[in-house]
A and B are shown apart, each in its own frame.
Chain A
Amino acid sequence: MYIESISFGISTLLFLMLGLIMLTGKRDNLPKNMLVVASLANAVWSGTVTYQAAFGGLLSFTLLLELLRSLAWFAFLLVMLRTAYKNSDQINKNFKITFAGLSVFIVGLMLLALYRISGGSFFEFIAGNDVLVGHLLISIGGIVIVEQLYRNTPEEQRWGLKYLWIGIGSMFAYDFYLYSDAFLFQRIDNELWNARGFIHAMVVPLIGVAIKREMQWSLGKESIDVFLSRRMVFHTTTLLAAGVYLIFIGFGGYYVREMGGGWGEVAQATFMFAAFLGLAVLFFSGKIRARIKVMIDKHFFHYKYDYRDEWLRIIRTLSQQNDDKTLHVRAIRALAQIIDSPGGLLVMERDNGFFESDERWNYEPIKVREPADSTLNRFLEEFRFVISLDEYNDDPEMYTRLGPLELPGWLTSNKDAWLVVPLMLQDHLLGYVVLLRSPAHERYFNWEDSDLLKTAGRQVASHLAQYEAAQALLSARRFEEVNRLSAFIVHDIKNMVGQLSMVVSNAARHKNNPMFIDDAISTVENSVNKMNKLLIRLRGEGGADKKSPLNLCGLLEESIRACSTAGTLPVPVLSCTTEAIMIMADKDRMSANIAHLIQNAQDATDDNGSINVRLRKEGEFAVVEIADTGEGMDEKFIHDKLFQPFESTKGTMGIGVFQVREYVHKLGGQLDVESQPGIGSIFRLRIPLSSHSSYTAQVVHLHEHGNR
């Protein structure tokens, strides 16, 4: 009794303080006032328990106050829950009815308790099964409403409100634990009861934190995203059903123990374990879950589906990249999930004029090969119907009156096959999915299922088509690569054959000339070298660059000389910094790219114009600018044409700005272009400096100038 007094005394004090503090502030809204009432009701009840523990008496009064205190908490929770929904008379009415029902229930419980009063101890008094069931229902109801409130709390309000829900929810959870224990063992556990005051006292600081965080006294007023989702109803229903199930188990356990004689407690333990096992099995049963969903859909909602949820799930399933299943399996799953089908088969159109089985998911191994003009394919393409095999079997005319339809044997012979969903891409049938029978939906497949499956089928078809197009593009690119590879092989072989055949034909006239023999050997050697290079390139080894440290200023000088000595104008003017700027690159490729840009500039510029090639260092990059005063390019040309592979204003198919940019990217740099029609262009290359720039600069300097 001593601990009980302290425990409930502390609870009394804290709830009283909470109530009084809240009373001193503004009391301008109903939820806040209801929290004050609930806190004070809790304080009064705890106070009477404290008094009863210390001095005895007040038994019935304490029990009645506990029920009233529960009613006050419910009132607060319901008022908060009402704010979560948009204002409407219907909702207000529903909440009023719920509150009235709850009040009647609790008052009824109070009357029942009063009726049972027959003296004896406090615990015996409240441990009557009917009263205990009442307490259990109250605590389950409290948990359910708190869960609803938490789910309905918009994200931005959770920071303020979560402690309130945790506090009140824990209070109800502890009450549930206390009373279910009492219900099972037909007595209230002293320790659990004594701790109850402390537990309730711990809730007060949490409520205080919520108030201090300036929680809003309504939910979702600023949020339009509050709605009664099917998932929420599903969870709530499951939770409620589990609570009711546990109460029945308690009853059963009590009965078994009472009737079991000497084996009573063993039988009770066995029974309880079996019952919990049963609950676990029920929770994990797909069939039960499906049936609950159907029940909820039928009785709580106007439409069978929450279309937003369904659509999000379809997209999520289709785009699960981390899933090890292929897109085609995910496509089957996306459709099957809609009607809880356990599996399916995807049949896709092939280039050979047949529709063939592509992928299956929990479907028996089968090889399907249907001609594209079969009645099934034509029917699906023309009418875009989801075919229900049950309907077809019951009344084939339902379908055949629209057009000829004869289902193939592999489909009709499978008793588990249920629906055929067409995958339409615009007006074209891309394929179809055969879904297996769902345990929940078999009895009522209606227009709503059909419409959703049909529309989802279109979505799936467009995903599949996109995938197929990407694959086709990949193949085309590979093919193009092979073409390009074979083009240069043919080119090189032609050169080699030319060389060798000329050696043979020339030999007829010059075979006695030692100089010719020398030249012929040199030509054959040249051909052998070419063949070796070709082999290296074919093995893919030629793709690796022979990177070496390059003195960029020297390379620019060489390129400018190569582009100018033939008399081509204008001659570019080079300006380099005094410091050597080194990069790591393949000398031949780099020269070719620079020369290409310089030649482009020369082609675009009049002989009287000017070209400036500038080199400087910017941080970790070497910057090369090739600026001309040529005809320039407009933005559209730069955007649409300049960087297109194999595009050239000169009508040739060789190295282009695209290849230059690709190579610069490969070096970790970038190529920018500035241009104005009639004024000129600047091509700017930024290339990473060699990591040992100063060292390699010295080495190259020595190499180039050291031994003169």
Chain B
Amino acid sequence: MNKPKLLIVDDDQGIRSQLQWGIEGFDIATADSRENAIKQLETHQPLVVTLDLGLPPDVDGTSEGFSILDALLTRQPGLKVIVVSASDKTVNSAKALEHGAFEFYPKPVDISSLQEVLDRALAAIE
């Protein structure tokens, strides 16, 4: 049986690689920018995405992350996007949900708790 597809969008190579080692039960693709994220979305058509907000060219802000969130959901409206960000939770979690994210997960990442969120997202689809 094929595993469900997960796309990890983060500009930090270390985080991408450790998430790949840690997360279980998914076939994982990664992207480090808007361009690659949309490419991977079109290639792999994942069910779930983890998305960092601080991506180039706005690594210190959140504008690029939210733009990508909008772009992904426009292309694949049923997509479950989990926003994984170290930015201010009080400001950005509500905004992420408004933009259509499944959940806001604050960094630092704890693999087991993120795994639970991913499983929940998958369950929501099924």
Contacts and interface: CB of A to CB of B under 8 A. Distances in A.
Given A526-B13, A652-B63, A502 B18 contact: yes
Contacts of B18: 499, 502-503, 506, 519-520, 523
Given A516-B21, A519-B17, A652-B95, 17 more contacts: A491-B60, A492-B86, A495-B12, A498-B109, A499-B15, A510-B21, A519-B21, A523-B13, A562-B34, A566-B34, A566-B35, A566-B38, A592-B57, A596-B63, A651-B95, A652-B62, A655-B63
Interface-central residue, B12, B57, B107, B110, by most chain A CB under 10 Å: B57
Contacts of A566: 34-35, 37-39, 71
28 contacts: A491-B87, A492-B86, A494-B106, A497-B108, A501-B108, A502-B18, A502-B21, A503-B18, A505-B22, A505-B111, A519-B17, A523-B18, A526-B12, A526-B13, A562-B33, A565-B39, A566-B38, A566-B39, A592-B57, A593-B57, A595-B57, A599-B67, A648-B63, A650-B66, A652-B66, A652-B95, A653-B62, A655-B57
Given A502-B18, A523-B17, A495 B63 contact: no
Contacts of A567: 38, 75
B56 interface: yes
A512 to B, nearest CB: 13
B38 to A, nearest CB: 4
A522 B95 contact: no
A499 B61 CA distance: 20
A568 interface: yes
Interface in B1-51: 12-15, 17-19, 21-22, 33-35, 37-39
Contacts of B112: 505
A469 interface: no
A487 interface: yes
A401 to B, nearest CB: 58
A117 B33 CA distance: 117
A450 interface: no
A568 B64 CA distance: 13
A562 B67 CA distance: 14
A652 B33 CA distance: 18
Which 10 pairs between the two chains have the least Cβ-Cβ distance? A654-B61, A592-B57, A654-B63, A498-B108, A502-B18, A566-B38, A523-B14, A526-B14, A494-B86, A654-B58
Interface string A372-384: 0000000000000
B86 A495 contact: yes
B42 to A, nearest CB: 8
Contacts of B111: 502, 505-506
B88 interface: yes
Interface string B108-126: 1111100000000000000
Interface residues of A, number: 44
A490 interface: yes
A490 B17 CA distance: 22
Contacts of A651: 66, 95
A177 interface: no
Contact of B15 (A487, A495, A599, A650): A495
Nearest to A498: B108
B47 to A, nearest CB: 20
A12 interface: no
B interface SS class: helix
B33 to A, nearest CB: 7
A487 B57 contact: no
Tell me the interface secondary structure of chain A in the complex: helix
Contacts of A83: none
A103 interface: no
B14 A494 contact: no
B88 A487 contact: yes
A157 interface: no
A495 B87 contact: no
Contact of B60 (A503, A599, A654): A654
A494 B21 contact: no
A500 B88 CA distance: 21
A660 to B, nearest CB: 11
B54 A491 contact: yes
Interface of A: 487-488, 490-492, 494-495, 497-499, 501-503, 505-506, 509-510, 516, 519-520, 522-523, 526-527, 562, 565-568, 588, 591-593, 595-596, 599, 603, 648, 650-655
B13 A498 contact: no
Contact of A652 (B57, B61, B108): B61
Contacts of A599: 67
A493 B13 CA distance: 16
A523 B19 CA distance: 11
A503 B62 CA distance: 26
B14 A654 contact: no
A546 to B, nearest CB: 15
A487 B60 CA distance: 10
Contacts of A650: 63, 66-67
B49 to A, nearest CB: 14
Contacts of B38: 566-567
A487 B61 CA distance: 11
Contacts of A592: 56-58
Contact of B71 (A488, A497, A526, A568): A568
Given A566-B37, A591-B57, A599-B67, A506 B22 contact: yes
B15 A498 contact: yes
A568 B38 CA distance: 10
B21 A596 contact: no
Contacts of A506: 18, 21-22, 111
Contacts of A510: 21
A562 B107 contact: no
A494 B22 contact: no
Contact of A562 (B35, B54, B109): B35
Nearest to B37: A566
A592 B63 CA distance: 12
A137 B42 CA distance: 109
Name, among B13, B14, B37, B108, the residue most crowded by chain A CB atoms within 10 Å (CB to CB). B14
Nearest to B18: A502
Nearest to A646: B61
B86 A491 contact: yes
Nearest to B22: A506
A654 B64 contact: yes
Contacts of B66: 650-652
A499 B12 contact: yes
A390 to B, nearest CB: 62
A126 to B, nearest CB: 95
A601 to B, nearest CB: 13
A654 B108 contact: no
Contact of A501 (B35, B88, B110): B110
Contacts of A603: 67
B108 A495 contact: yes
A565 B56 contact: no
Contacts of B54: 491
Nearest to A592: B57
Nearest to B54: A491
A599 B64 CA distance: 10
A593 B112 CA distance: 38
B86 A596 contact: no
